A and B are shown apart, each in its own frame.
Chain A
């Protein structure tokens, strides 16, 4: 394979941090050569699982989510979509490319949207053990009310990854919306914290995602028993977990963005996975 020589004395980006203090790469456009990475992952015949929850009215987001994933998510690699839904009949028929399949997993719904969100951890954890372990190498756990607007590929894959929340990448840690009440399992004191990670896009190897989702679920059960619910639900617990179990890759906010709220600043060379407009009142019922 012929490609340009990497330059030891020229950083790939001089406007952003590309490596965490624990030496995990932070993935921004310009930091990676996708051809080299594709070759490495194809050699391993990598299969990627993508979990997405479409509960009650959220089924309406599936068509655009899946169609855009077909164009932009892990193209050229084996992909299995795991669609968790309480309305299997409403899962749209989206034509899939070669080596890509869709599995519908029927699950219960919850009345409160917070519970729907939080129980994703429990469901991913359960299915990881029973099924995902034998079917895929990596799991990507994504929100459904989004679309893929640019390339999202194997550059994200590693043992454990989180994504920088687009609302907090330039904030100081005191301003992160971590859970601040000691009583909660998700509590993080004001002088701690590396980043604020987004609850809508995380993943890793099946083993590591199982560990993470199991830990978050158990922490939420504990909180419920103690009569408390973390301020940002599963996202609060995700942040606690990743603080003490550091991710091996961190994705830049290119990988979770909201153009309506945040525009298109110059440090974002690509907007890869973006919010789809939704009426919160109507959809959360």
Chain B
């Protein structure tokens, strides 16, 4: 159904500081599994273009390297992503792609990720919270924050590592999250899980049109439950303290 539409799928991915070490496994596995047969445009945001390895891409697939400022605090880098993606869409991506996915770089594809994931506004269920009640979701619980979610609210806990949709919807979404992040900054507060907290609040009020199961956002440190038939995209083993230093 999607192939005749000649779509281009964009992917934003951020590799700042030591995270450049994840670029090769991410891109190589994406070449094998992500949107095979479609036109794909990777937008790689990095402070160090020289550190980007040469990865061979298939036909109809492009990589653009976009330099951004590094930052000493990893939380800051993480939260600026919303603003960066939003500006990038306005400058470029809206003309170049039909759909856009925003993915974390410290991940690897293990199985096909195809057009079944396309939708107007797409979120993915966080692998750590699909079987718990909403009171236990790590939402931001301080009312002062723009990302605040009350105990009796919430559908699913979505992972910040995967979201996407039609380019115009992603533009609105990232803008909304960024506004919340700015409001918090002005109030001297940072949400519990940075932009993931804002993403979660936003998805309650602007419900995604499609939700990806934890097959699309898995944590390899977890044992694979029977309900999970296939793992398509999951975290890479890493040492957070080294990476973030």
Contact = CB atoms under 8 A, between A and B. Distances in A.
Interface string B93-134: 000000000000000000000001000000001000011011
Interface string B147-189: 0000011111000000000000000000000000000000000
Contacts, number: 21
A9 B156 contact: no
A8 B134 contact: no
Nearest to A6: B155
Contacts of A5: 133-134, 154-155
Interface string A3-30: 0011011000000000000110000000
A9 B125 CA distance: 12
Contact of A36 (B1, B130, B207, B227): B207
Interface string B197-230: 0000000000100100000000000000001000
Contact of A40 (B130, B131, B207): B207
Contacts of B130: 8-9
A23 B130 CA distance: 21
* Interface size classification for chain B: 10 to 19
A23 B131 contact: no
Identify whether the interface residues of A are mostly helix, strand, loop, or mixed: loop
Contacts of B156: 6, 8
Contacts of A40: 207
A2 B154 CA distance: 9
B155 A246 contact: no
Contacts of A9: 130-131, 227
A248 to B, nearest CB: 11
A36 B208 CA distance: 13
Nearest to B130: A8
B69 to A, nearest CB: 38
A6 B125 CA distance: 12
Interface string A128-162: 00000000000000000000000000000000000
Nearest to B225: A9
A2 B153 contact: yes
Nearest to B213: A8
B152 A2 contact: yes
Contacts of B210: 23
A246 B156 CA distance: 29
A246 B125 CA distance: 27
Contacts of B207: 36, 40
Contacts of B131: 8-9
Nearest to A33: B155
Given A8-B125, A8-B131, A9-B227, A23 B153 contact: no
Nearest to A246: B1
B173 to A, nearest CB: 16
B232 to A, nearest CB: 16
A23 B116 contact: yes
Interface string B131-143: 1011000000000
A28 B221 CA distance: 38
Nearest to B119: A23
Contacts of A246: 1
Nearest to A5: B134
Q: Which of A5, A23, A36 has the most CB of B within 10 A?
A: A5
Contacts of B133: 5
Nearest to B150: A2
A5 B156 CA distance: 8
B166 to A, nearest CB: 14
Contact of B1 (A6, A8, A22): A22
Contacts of A36: 207
A22 B154 CA distance: 27
A40 B208 CA distance: 12
A6 B133 CA distance: 9
Nearest to A1: B153
A2 B204 CA distance: 11
A5 B1 CA distance: 33
Nearest to B152: A2
Nearest to A2: B152
Interface string A31-55: 0000010001000000000000000
B146 to A, nearest CB: 19
Given A5-B154, A8-B130, 4 more contacts: A22-B1, A23-B116, A23-B210, A246-B1
18 contacts: A2-B152, A2-B153, A5-B133, A5-B134, A5-B155, A6-B155, A8-B125, A8-B130, A8-B131, A8-B156, A9-B130, A9-B131, A9-B227, A22-B1, A23-B210, A36-B207, A40-B207, A246-B1
Interface of B: 1, 116, 125, 130-131, 133-134, 152-156, 207, 210, 227
Q: Lowest 9 CB-CB distances: which A-B pairs, in order? A: A8-B130, A5-B134, A2-B152, A6-B155, A9-B131, A9-B227, A5-B133, A23-B116, A22-B1
